Amino acid sequence: MAKFLLLKHYGLSPEGEPGHAPIFGWTPEEIDAHMAYQRQLIAELRESGEYVDVQALSNDSVLVRTGGEGAPPVVTDGPYAESKELVAGWYLIDVESKERAYEIAARVSAAPGAGGKPGDELLEVRPILSM
Q: In this model, does residue 21 exceed pLDDT 70?
A: no
Which helix (H) or strand (E) covers residue 63, if one does? strand 63-65
81 vs 39, which has greater pLDDT? 39
Averaged pLDDT, 103-108: 92
Which stretch of DSSP H or E encloses residue 76?
strand 74-76
Pairwise CA distance, residues 70 & 85, whole Å: 33
What is the C-alpha to C-alpha distance for residues 55 and 70, in angstroms, rounded to an integer?
34
With b for 16 or more beta-carbon neighbours within 10 A and e for fewer, the 63-76 pattern comes to eeeeeeeeeeeeee
pLDDT tier, 16 (very low <50, low <70, confident <90, very high otherwise): low
Give the DSSP per-residue string, 93-125. Answer: EEES-HHHHHHHHHHHHTSB-GGGSB---EEEE
Those residues with Cβ within 8 angstroms of residue 126's Cβ, 6 or more apart along the chain or in another chain: 4, 5, 7
2 falls in which pLDDT band (50, 70, 90)? very high
pLDDT value at 50 more than 70? yes
